[in-house]
Chain A
Amino acid sequence: MVQVTLGGGELIRARRYRWLFLLVPALALSCGEAFAALQTANSSAGPQRLASHTVIDGVGRQVKIPANVDRIVSLAPNLTETLYALGLGERIVGDTNYCDVPPEAKAKPHVGAPVNPSIEAIVAQRPDLVFATTSINRPETVDALTRLGIPVYTTDPHTVRGMIDSFGRIADLVGAEKQGSALTASLNARLGALHARLATLPTIRVLFVVWLDPLITIGQNTFIADALQWAGAESVVVSQQNWPQLSFEEVVRLQPDYLVFAASHPGEGGVTAKGLRSQPVWKDLRAVQQGHVAIISDEIDRPDPGLIDAIEQLAHELHPDAFKPDAAPAGSSSKASRERVAFRAFGKKSEIAPQGLKPLMKGRWVMSDLKVRPPKDRLFSANYLRDDARLESGLTTRCCECAH
């Protein structure tokens, strides 16, 4: 393909053109001159506020918050929904293409998709403050905006409580303390009510299906894992990865009590218990045969106030008896309940009363990074049950289920 037809004379002459590459450094230097303007352009950008304060955001960065935050750009659907819930919708001057809750959010100027928004479009809105979240935005976007002198506050909630706290902080930042404390108080009250009903009930082992093909579930550090706990359930998979891929064999071995899907789950016309029963491998799962498939609101995927709705919905699905009119909230003096309170107070799995956790750890199967909670039948024989009220009650239910 590559061929050359050159005479010897030209070869000698060719040396004359060697000076050409000298043009390149010259070009480089002139480009450099053009960029000299950049430095000052950057430093003079944006009007200087008189009073402002510096806060530490969810990822530990220092963010300078202007005195008045009148123009907000939200870089994630959950942040947009939170801002609306705080009554700050009017101050939003830009959101993402995916922001559709509440419907008014769709009418706001969009700055692109959360993963790759247009920095220019954000700049064009002249925001006082930009909100971002680690769960969907890229750190590069935050860096680029910060470089241009635009303050970006990043939230990084991993638990439901942490998420509610972040609502309060967002409200404080923009001078909406009242709305913030009202919202957090009401959400906390709803969680408290759920907890009162579910504290003594058995924990249901669920498989939360993020994606069917390939099969992707949630890791222990996601807020969804924590949301499941509030609904009286726990994920059968324990993984450091946030969105671990799971082999189907593992699911068969684990035999979760329930499968949980978000409503807009991929697949033709969504997932139904009936649909799964006709699918080759799925139909052999115990949970599918028993019709234990919970399809809940998409809000479960979004760390915003609507998540609490999804938690309540899931709790109703998994523990229908607890919500019957005659079911009185359980007494909070039992041991199991106290354990849960301690657990909630710290909001982290590792903070569960230690003697409750240790036996569980022993029972985990370690497969590279994927740790998996063993099915309960395995727990039965060993000494795992010592002191663990939650597991004990879990086993009782299983027996009841077998009976009917």
Chain B
Amino acid sequence: MRTLTARRVIGACAMLLGVLFVVVVISLRMGAFPLSVRDIVATLFNGVLGRRERIPSEFALVVFGLRLPRIALGILVGAALSTAGAGFQALLRNPLADPYVLGVSSGAALGAILSLIFIPHVPGAIQAAAFVGAAATITAVYFLGRRGGQLDSATLLLAGIVAASFLSAGIMFLMTTLPGRDLRGMAFWLMGDLSSPPPTQNVRAWFVFLFVVFAIAAGAIYLTASDLNLILTGEKEAQHLGVNVHRVKLVVYISASLLTGLAVSVSGAIGYIGLLVPHAMRMLFGNDYRLLIPTSALGGAIAIVVADTLARTVVAPTELPVGAMTALAGAPVFIYLLRRRVR
């Protein structure tokens, strides 16, 4: 394997950032409302310069009110899920691990459903309840997954899977027995959906809040990257090399769960991204977590923006849930990468 240099990290990130930028511009261009690239560039340009009077009000509505928040949410969710996925794959030392493997999404979904039943029509209630559900699940799984006072990968994985199926059963029970009024949205939520509006009028503050939480949690995982590299060779070996294995696992567990909870509470359970993107990045850039974490974050952002653009446009004007699109488009891409590596 080649030595990791600053140049390689920056080069890879810059390349992915470039791809992300192109994808964002294309995504801004696509949609039911016809806008040319020139319109978009002019709208963005005038928007950044603060010359709002020069933007036609409908352009502003479509670009700043609809497409940009949705793209930003997609970037956030994609980056969070992929980073969490990479973190869980290292923590559990299992290539099948994804952000939902420990039941976080089921806990969040149960919270969201309970909020729809008990406090419907309260803005932000679904997001808050989903996050509380995710946090409760994380805590429960943490205590179930310990052995001898320390997180044990195998026990944690089993505890998470059991928690996930138990909570899913609870969701099914509620969905089939309760009056069906507002649960229609739930089907979309369970498949992952970026079309829900932000819960507050202050969109800017909402996104700054989300990105700051993301930065803290993803940053914490990134700080453990070189330790994770060692843990992957074996926990004992890492311990001998001076890594505080228990602390690293705890940090990764909490941060990755927080990222998943954040993503799930704003967009529902979008599948595949957290599993496929880290593996795809491994195939492209290698196994080093110091490179894998930033590239996974950017790759996840790209994947979701692409998937959501497709979800908005393939059967336009109807919209598909983005979760359906990630699986539909993600699986073939992944198989291609897999076969290419084998050869």
Contact = CB atoms under 8 A, between A and B. Distances in A.
B178 A140 contact: no
Contacts of B335: none
Nearest to A145: B197
Contacts of A355: none
A-B interface, 8 closest residue pairs, ranked by CB to CB distance from nearest: A28-B211, A121-B32, A41-B60, A37-B47, A121-B317, A112-B318, A118-B317, A112-B317
B330 interface: no
Nearest to B57: A45
A1 B95 contact: yes
Given A4-B288, A28-B211, A116 B179 contact: no
Interface in A27-61: 27-29, 31-42, 44-46
Nearest to A40: B52
A260 B222 CA distance: 62
Greatest chain A CB density within 10 A among B55, B65, B225, B282 is at B65
B153 to A, nearest CB: 12
A396 interface: no
A37 B13 contact: no
B335 to A, nearest CB: 16
Interface string A92-104: 0000010000000
B66 to A, nearest CB: 6
B197 A144 contact: yes
A245 interface: yes
Contact of B65 (A5, A10, A38): A38
Given A32-B208, A35-B69, A41 B61 contact: yes
Contacts of B90: 2
B34 to A, nearest CB: 8
23 contacts: A6-B230, A11-B230, A13-B4, A18-B222, A21-B218, A24-B218, A28-B211, A32-B204, A34-B68, A38-B65, A39-B202, A42-B65, A45-B57, A118-B32, A119-B66, A120-B62, A123-B66, A124-B33, A138-B184, A139-B185, A242-B179, A369-B177, A369-B178
Nearest to B208: A32
Contacts of A16: 6
A28 B208 CA distance: 6
A241 interface: yes
A3 interface: yes
Contacts of A15: 226
Contacts of B211: 24-25, 27-28, 31-32
A20 B287 contact: no
B61 A143 contact: no
Interface string B313-341: 00011111100000000000000000000
B32 A140 contact: no
Interface of B: 1, 3-4, 6, 9, 13, 31-34, 44, 47-48, 50, 52, 55, 57-58, 60-62, 64-69, 72, 89-90, 93, 95, 120-121, 123, 176-182, 184-185, 188, 195-197, 201-204, 207-208, 211-212, 214-215, 218-219, 222-223, 225-226, 229-230, 232-233, 282, 287-290, 294, 297, 312, 316-321
A134 B121 CA distance: 13
A14 interface: yes
Q: How large is the interface on A (under 10, 10 to 19, 20 to 34, 35 or more residues)?
A: 35 or more
Greatest chain A CB density within 10 A among B55, B61, B287 is at B61
Contacts of B180: 241-243
A148 B226 contact: no
Given A41-B55, A116-B320, 4 more contacts: A22-B219, A123-B33, A123-B61, A126-B58
Contact of B215 (A2, A21, A39, A140): A21
B223 A140 contact: no
B215 A24 contact: yes
B207 A32 contact: yes
A14 B4 contact: yes
Nearest to A6: B229
Contacts of A20: 9, 13, 222, 294
